[in-house]
Chain A
């Protein structure tokens, strides 16, 4: 498959409440930043634009339409939208480039989750006849998953706390993070349970913000003369919605997607995993077969700040940043959607050499 270049990436600060800013106001600064990085003027200078968002975060139908107001889409542009994380908007953009309808694309994702109660809002993602009427929120479902892991002896509470401690400490080097600290496993384990067996720190925070990326063909990246990294593979897979039919302690869809993306064809220096709960990071790194040679979530991951609908794209952006800075030569990024890691996307990103 054709390799696709990432030339620019920007993410807003993760904040619990973006206050007065509306979606357009959250998006515009990110777009300006990626335009500058790529050395282009605006969205008119790319061949395709695709975004990811969810109407239910802000509670208004067609919420994404206002996103178009940030683009300067006059004259009209080739543009599309997925009601998914923007990592899937990236996927659509890659298809457009592979089929030759575009050489470059702008991707953005945005979410202002603070107006509503995100875990409750997401309960309405469940089967509308059997599950949604029960209002089972995402935290409770994840807690059941964590309990399965603990009871079956796959992990211990210390393992979960270790994930959090590493996230908090890594986030100290991430100026965009919402939660960063130097904290020990012992300290974390002394905290009270929140939705047992999860403690509050096992759950990602809710953040407002946006992220944006520009991709193009390798030829175009060389023409633009900017540093770039290459997406050498991308794949995504979904599993049954019926939680009772899944082995919740594993993520076979992540494993299949990683194989589809060619993750196994070389060493993995860095992995950015979209794990909204600490135990899920362990599920994912086991499914991906990651070992000591791989640095996991150097940004702190989404436990340090979760821009719903943009976090998946941000994981890809974070790996891009590590490769551009020379900290890594090959990495994988992961995005997820649905309850208990139902739907997973894996991208493999390598240096341009």
Chain B
């Protein structure tokens, strides 16, 4: 149907802030600039070298700034250049990276800076999400209230042991303890501690849910010729895919959404991935509630349907247990969650792995990695595959 005439693009710079509950020491502009400057330094470039800026974040209401790209252009050195703003709900961090990549892959630009952020401490996200609509009851139950029934249905179908989610919660926090930028540092966390933490939305316990963070993540994406001269190894972008489906429709498969399966199939095809568990060295996957690891293991084809939890329980996804397919070595969303940036952190961390630049959470010799984000009612998906080699 379509011919892929894309220009090869690569990530040559990655910059993140420290993730924490409240960054009172910087403004919103200061936060995004910190990540952007870090990414430029990593690429050994300056703002002057950048052709265009692509910015993404979750709803404007989270900070109360309408279309904030207008205000942030100065902080991002974008004056006189193209500025682009993406918003695709929780998947926005991922789709912003994809839109930034398309600025290069289309042959339109050589060097693009992309930034995503959330400064949740500057507003009240719970308020932003609960403007009442008359055709639904005002339950104010938060995101957990939406996803808990879906997790329960997964548990029923798969007959997973009750502690599979607990295991993920521990595993991702142990990964996070290796990452100095992670919001939560819980090196001594135990299964017992997670199990005894407060049940928020049965079956989701407090320690099985993500924190709420301030933070920003930035990347510099460039064309092949520029990447070849980069001072550090590039992460070559081998595949990019997005899929969307409606929030609610009759007969919708909510546990393993079709959009996620289709998106994975698309991105694997582009990257020549046939057996994700074998072909990838690691994956950074959007897991805001622990049970979503086994659910996405199945949705993304790392495990047969109903068996995702087995990989989790065997330690296959754990760096500390020497698993064959470590997931979320950075600590994942369960360790840091600046919502609008969370997806891009997955994409950037996948790139760090294949650049061999992931520090204490590096997977030895990682050559191919998956970055994944989802949003809305698990209906918007964005994914990319990055590699140490061009093909």
Contact = CB atoms under 8 A, between A and B. Distances in A.
Q: Does A touch B (CB under 8 Å) in the complex?
A: yes
Contacts of A121: 66
Interface string B226-263: 00000000000000111111110100100001110011
Interface of A: 1, 47, 49, 54-56, 59-62, 64-65, 68-69, 71, 73-84, 88, 91-92, 94-96, 98-103, 121-122, 124-129, 132, 235-242, 252-253, 256, 337-339, 342-343
A75 B253 CA distance: 11
8 contacts: A55-B59, A62-B376, A78-B244, A84-B85, A92-B102, A128-B63, A236-B83, A238-B80
A223 B169 CA distance: 53
Contacts of B246: 68-69, 71, 73-74
B299 interface: no
A124 B245 CA distance: 31
Q: Which of B3, B70, B99, B128 has the most chain A CB atoms closer than 10 A to its own CB?
A: B70
B185 interface: no
Contacts of B61: 55-56, 61
B247 A337 contact: no
Closest 7 CB pairs of A and B: A100-B5, A98-B106, A76-B259, A79-B244, A61-B59, A83-B87, A338-B70
B81 interface: yes
B84 A98 contact: no
A99 B107 contact: yes
B139 interface: no
Nearest to B106: A98
Interface string B84-123: 1111110000010001001101111000000000000010
Contact of A256 (B68, B73, B80, B258): B80
Contact of B2 (A73, A103, A235, A253): A103
A34 B240 CA distance: 28
Nearest to B101: A99
A74 B258 CA distance: 9
B88 A80 contact: yes
Contact of A124 (B64, B79, B258): B64
A329 B258 CA distance: 45
Interface residues of B, number: 68
**Chain B facing A: main interface SS:** loop
A256 B243 CA distance: 34
A132 B60 contact: no
A92 B80 contact: no
Contacts of A235: 82
A61 B133 CA distance: 11
A176 to B, nearest CB: 25
Contacts of B105: 95, 99
Contacts of A80: 86, 88, 95, 99, 242, 244
A65 B89 contact: yes
Contact of B79 (A84, A91, A125, A239): A239
Contacts of A337: 67, 70
Given A69-B246, A100-B4, A128-B64, A240 B83 contact: no
Contacts of B107: 1, 98-99
B243 A76 contact: yes
Contact of A237 (B28, B59, B67, B80): B80
Given A69-B246, A101-B4, A241 B102 contact: no
Given A59-B131, A235-B82, 19 more contacts: A47-B2, A49-B244, A54-B66, A56-B60, A56-B61, A60-B131, A62-B376, A65-B379, A68-B247, A74-B245, A78-B243, A95-B102, A99-B4, A125-B67, A125-B70, A126-B71, A238-B78, A252-B80, A337-B67
A124 B68 CA distance: 9
B74 interface: yes
Nearest to A132: B65
A126 B68 CA distance: 8
Contacts of A64: 87
A128 B179 CA distance: 32
Contacts of A78: 241-244
Nearest to A128: B65
A240 B73 contact: yes
B129 to A, nearest CB: 6
Nearest to A57: B66
B7 interface: yes
Contacts of A253: 80
Nearest to A131: B71
Contacts of B103: 95
B71 A241 contact: yes
Contact of B133 (A54, A60, A92, A98): A60
B89 to A, nearest CB: 6
Contacts of B137: none
A81 B5 contact: no
A229 B276 CA distance: 43
B391 interface: no
Interface in B1-58: 1-7, 27-28
